[in-house]
Structure 1
Amino acid sequence: MTTFPADDPDKAPFAGVLPAAPRPFVLGNGEGEKSLVFDQLFNILLSADETDDQYGAFTMVGPKGDRIPAHKHFKTHEIFYVVDGEISVWMDDQADYHSKTTLTTGDFAYIPANVVHAFQIHNTTKVFGVGTAGFERFFHAMGQKTDATEPQGIYVPDYPTMRAAGEKYWTQFMPEFQFRD
């Protein structure tokens, strides 16, 4: 992955929230770099800047909703750990692994790069995620900056915004992909 410059439009609006260097720090409950994407609040807790380009960490909180579109990340490995709630995760490696699993509080999923995946929240759910360094700010590229500590409202990015975020963060949206349910 590539660490993006300080003036990158996906991180410049958040300057000073995280230390932007690998040094110790603490965030209080609800602190971090926050963006609303659709009806989900993404909060970046740790970025490539703080981990010497190793990984990024974030939380996602969202209400019950529709399944997000299928997509895959070409360079990003992701984990989902359900802190509270219930979420279904679809994964398909386009070879021999096809699954739909409903995760509840305490459950964990790993999605390697190039695996098509999607998720659907079944009730208000909080997920802790970790991904390959640099990817964490994909949520800023797709979303709208917010100071909210809970998801409020809906922000639907237009298709050019989604496409640009996908290109920048090595993600392909695959809305026509059919999972084996």
Structure 2
Amino acid sequence: MNRKKFLKTSLLTASAVVSTPAIVSFRTEKSTSNSIEPKVVRAQEGKKVNVIGDQQTFKLTGKDTNGQFTLIEEVNPPGTMIPPHVHTKEDEVFKVLEGELEVTVGDETTVLKAGDLAFAPRNVPHSWKVIGDTDCKTILSAFPAGIELMFEELGNLPPGKPDFAKVAEICGAHGITFIT
């Protein structure tokens, strides 16, 4: 039995059992507003962006999730780091799949290993650095989506040593400030 037929039969049966009038409405047309399409992203798929040395692959963006969240895979060598900063628009979750990531959130610094995660809520300073002697693979989730737009802007900067004033300007436009 298909899902719609099952639900319709179940609802009609339930309403008959309790003997109360029920109005059953089934939507058969596809809504384009606020609808989210299923998506499968294979291991090597996604948009690759070098964000000032942070090697990112966008797996899901706001376009895929109706703005709910962004999911990014990061694979970086030891020494790669992001200095202390604060987000005002999104919360972040860092989940380490391989390697080691030293993370500071607020006043707490810890080392994350495969399977560990850290939650960095908006308005709380945080930073991270790949440590150890192997690459670190991390899944970064940001709620709500939108941070990928900033990462794309940063990824479009000219190669070489980054102009920190320009980086701070781009980040500031997206609600992120660095702590000096």
**TM-score (ref. length: structure 2):** 0.72
Q: Provide the TM-score with structure 1 as the length reference.
A: 0.71
The question of whether the paired residues in 2 share the 8 Å contact of 1:77 and 1:112 is answered with yes
Aligned-pair CA distance for 1:30: 2.0
Map Cα deviations across residues 71-107 of structure 1 (whole Å, 9 max, x no partner): 0101110000001110100111xxxxx1000000000
**Aligned partner (choices 93, 97, 112) of residue 103 of structure 1:** 112
Count of residues paired in the alignment = 142
Q: CA RMSD in A?
A: 2.0
Whether the 8 Å CA contact 2:54–2:80 is kept in 1: the answer is no
Q: 1:127 to 1:155 in 2, by over 3 A?
A: farther
Change in Cα spacing, 1:156 to 1:137, as seen in structure 2 (3 Å) is: farther
Q: What are the residue-to-residue correspondences of 1:166-181 with 2, within 5 Å?
A: 166-174=171-179, 176=180
Give the structure 1 partner of residue 26 of structure 2.
none
Query: Which deviates more from structure 2 when the two are superposed, residues 34-43 or residues 122-131?
Result: 34-43
SS of 2:62's equivalent?
coil
Shift of 1:125: 0.1
Separation (CA, whole Å) in 1 of partners of 2:127 and 2:152: 19
Cα distance change on mapping 1:168 and 1:104 into 2, 3 Å:
same
Larger RCO, structure (CA 8 Å, separation 6 or more): 1
CA distance in 1, matches of 2:48, 2:170: 16
The 2-side partners of 1:28 and 1:142 are apart by 25
Question: 5+ unaligned residues in a row in structure 2: which ranges?
Answer: 1-34
- Give the aligned partner of residue 128 of structure 1: 139
User: Cα offset for 1:33?
Assistant: 1.4
CA distance change for structure 1 residues 30 and 160 in 2, over 3 Å: closer, same or farther?
farther
Aligned mate of 1:65, from 61, 79, 87: 79
Using the aligned pairs only, state the percent identity. 29
Letter in 2 for 1:102: V
* Corresponding letter in the other structure for 1:28: R
Partners of 2:99 and 2:76 in 1: CA distance: 10
What's the counterpart of residue 60 of structure 2?
46
Q: Say if 1:37 and 1:156, in contact at 8 Å, map to a contact too.
A: no
Distance in 2 (alpha carbons) for counterparts of 1:69 and 1:113: 16
Question: Partner letter of residue 123 of structure 2?
Answer: N
| Counterpart residue identity of residue 100, structure 1 | T
User: Does the Cα contact within 8 Å between 1:62 and 1:124 map onto a contact in 2?
Assistant: yes
Q: Which amino acid aligns with 1:104?
A: K
Letter in 2 for 1:49: K
Give how far 1:42 is off.
0.7
Contact 2:85 2:176 in 1 (8 A): yes
**Which one of the candidate residues 162, 165, 177 is aligned to 1:157?**
162
- 2-side partners of 1:81 and 1:100: how far apart? 15
